[in-house]
Structure 1
Amino acid sequence: MPTGVALQDPRQQLFDAAVRVLVRDGATGLTSRAVTTEAGVAKGVLHRHFADFDAFLADLVRDRIARIEAQGAALRDAAGSGTVAGNLTHALASLFDPVTVAIVVLVIARDELRARLRAAGTARFPLVGEGTAMVAGYLTAERDLGRISPGADVGTLAPTVIGAAHLLFTEHKDDPPGQDAVRRVVTTVLAGSLR
């Protein structure tokens, strides 16, 4: 990018570039040089806005966590409408989009990134932990409305749904599973708890 040209939102431009590189080239292909090249900016732009590359990545993950938390609020607001399986199926398909799956791999691959995220107060398993909290909050709301059995163990159901869905989406990385496959996971895990 020529010098002297103002960037509209450099942080977002760098985040968008990082996501494209990560999804296309994987965690090993995600470098500061790859991000700035993809964004079409000088390498110094990244370091002008972030202390170092791990700080940039930590902010990228926190941005995705904020999206999950917003999705969780919307999912809780949907309690009592539609079907429990339908609401969760839609939420899981959105949660485990290719970007989130790729970021989970990135977090697993980078010890320093995990340490920074934990120091910032994220779940011990960032993104997956927040996804589990999203599902737990929703299931609790549905239990309170009587659409889930009163004795349902939300603390066990939520991570079971998330774990099964995460495996399903990870195994189908290049060809995400269809709604029917996701719904089958949800209904199987919740079979004894749905009313």
Structure 2
Amino acid sequence: MPTGVAIRDVREQLFAAAERVLLRAGPNALTSRAVTTEAGCAKGVLHRHFADFDAFLAELVLDRVRGVEERGAALRAAAGTGTVADNVTNALTDLFGPVALGVLGLITSRDALRARLRRTTPTGVPLLTEAGAALAGYLAAERELGRLAPDSDTDTLAFTLVGSGHLLFAGREDASRDAVRKVVRSVVAGVVRES
């Protein structure tokens, strides 16, 4: 791209380019040069908007975290509709898409990125921690509606579901919806009180 030409939505374009590189070539291929080449802009564009490449990567992860939090709010709003197992199956299938799995690989492969992310997510793994909180909030709403047993430990259920979902999707191109549903039903079987 020629110098001096304004780029609209630079952050979003750079994030989208980073995701494409991540999906195509994995976390080790993600460099500032690879991102800017993919975005079709000069390397300096990235550095005008971010202090350094690790700051860019941290913002990419935090942007994806905000997406998880937004979907969590929508999930909580769905409490009382459909079935608990179907709602959780849909949420896990949505959460563990290829981009999220790529971002999780990025987080685990870069020490400097993990250290920077500790400022906002002091414990756990970003994305997984927020997904667990979102699911726990949804399950608590279902418990309040009487669709889960009153003594349900929604935090433990949520983190069990997120951990199981991550293991189910990790390293696979396509975990089947039926496999996800089977895990979800097994985890919530003792607490669901739906008719």
Query: What's the TM-score bracket when you normalise by the shorter of the two chains?
Result: over 0.9
Using the TM superposition, give the Cα deviation of residue 45 of structure 1 relative to its aligned residue in structure 2, in angstroms: 0.5
Moved more, 117-126 or 88-97: 117-126
* Pair 1:5-2:5 in alignment: yes
The 5 A counterparts of 1:23-102 are 23-102=23-102
Using the TM superposition, give the Cα deviation of residue 151 of structure 1 relative to its aligned residue in structure 2, in angstroms: 1.2
Distance in 2, Cα, partners of 1:91 & 1:64: 15
Q: Give the TM-score, by structure 2 length.
A: 0.96
The answer for the alignment partner of 1:187 in structure 2 is 185
3-state DSSP class of the match of 1:126? coil
Structure 2 contact 133–155 (Cα < 8 Å) conserved: no
Q: Give the TM-score, by structure 1 length.
A: 0.96
* Pair 1:168-2:168 in alignment: yes
1:16 maps to a residue whose letter is A
Number of residue pairs the alignment of both structures matches: 193
5+ residue gaps, structure 1, are none
Moved more, 112-121 or 152-161: 112-121
Q: Deviations over 1:79-131 (max 9, x none)?
A: 00000011111111111110001101111111111111111346531111001
Structure 2 contact 132–155 (Cα < 8 Å) conserved: no
Q: Deviations over 1:48-76 (max 9, x none)?
A: 10000000000000000000000000000
Identity in percent? 60
Moved more, 61-70 or 154-163: 154-163
The answer for the alignment partner of 1:110 in structure 2 is 110
RMSD (CA atoms): 1.1
Structure 1 contact 117–126 (Cα < 8 Å) conserved: yes
5+ residue gaps, structure 2, are none
Structure 1 contact 123–130 (Cα < 8 Å) conserved: no
Distance in 2, Cα, partners of 1:122 & 1:133: 14
Distance in 1, Cα, partners of 2:122 & 2:72: 15
Q: Deviations over 1:141-180 (max 9, x none)?
A: 00111111111111211111000001111131x2x21221
4+ residue segments displaced more than 6 Å: none
Distance in 2, Cα, partners of 1:59 & 1:85: 33
